[in-house]
Amino acid sequence: MPIPWLTAAKMIPWTDVIAAAPGIARGARELWKRVQARDDAQAAPDTVVDDPVARLAVLERSVADLNQEAAQRSELIAQLAEQNERLIAALDRQQRSTRWALGLAIAAVIGLAIVLLTT
C-alpha cells in the first residue's frame, strides 16, 4: 500500500502547495490574532456608554470589524478549498495512471502466459 501513496505524493504539485502555504498560514495567523483580540476585548469590562450616538458608533465599528473578519475568513476558506481541489485533482490523475498501469501489467501477464502456454 505505501507505493501508491508514494506515487500520489510525487504527483501532487508541491511547488504550488508550498507557494500557497505561507499566505494561507499568514491569513490563519492574522485571523487567530483578531479572534483572540476580540475575545480579550469582550472579556474586559466594558464601560457603559450613556450617549446613544457614541454607543451607535461603537456598535457600527464592531459590525464593520465583524464584516471584515468574515471577509477574511471567506478568503481563507476559499484558498484552502482551492488547495484541496488541486490535491484531489492530483490524486485523481494518479489514480487514473495507476489503473492504466495495472491494466497494462495484466495485459502483459496474460500475453506472457499465452506465449508460454503456446510454446
Domain-embedded: residue 42: yes
Domain-embedded: residue 116: no
**Domain count for the chain:** 1
Give this prediction's pTM: 0.49
The pLDDT tens digits of the residues spanning 16-62 come to 767 777 777 777 777 777 777 776 666 554 566 678 888 888 889 98
The pLDDT tens digits of the residues spanning 67-113 come to 988 888 888 888 888 888 888 888 888 888 999 999 999 999 999 99
Domain-embedded: residue 31: yes
- Residue 100: C-alpha distances to residues 5, 85, 108, 114, 118 (Å): 16, 23, 12, 21, 27
Residue-number span of the structural domain to which 80 is assigned? 2-92
pLDDT of residue 108: 95
Domain-embedded: residue 103: no
Domain-embedded: residue 39: yes
Domain-embedded: residue 109: no
What is the spatial distance between Cα 95 and Cα 58, in angstroms, rounded to a whole number?
55
Q: Read off the pLDDT band of 118 (50, 70, 90).
A: confident
pLDDT of residue 111: 94
Domain-embedded: residue 104: no
Q: Which three cell numbers stand for residue 96?
A: 487514473
pLDDT of residue 11: 67
Phi-psi region of 44 (alpha: psi -120 to 50; beta: other; left: phi over 0): beta
Domain-embedded: residue 66: yes
The overall average pLDDT reported for the chain is 80
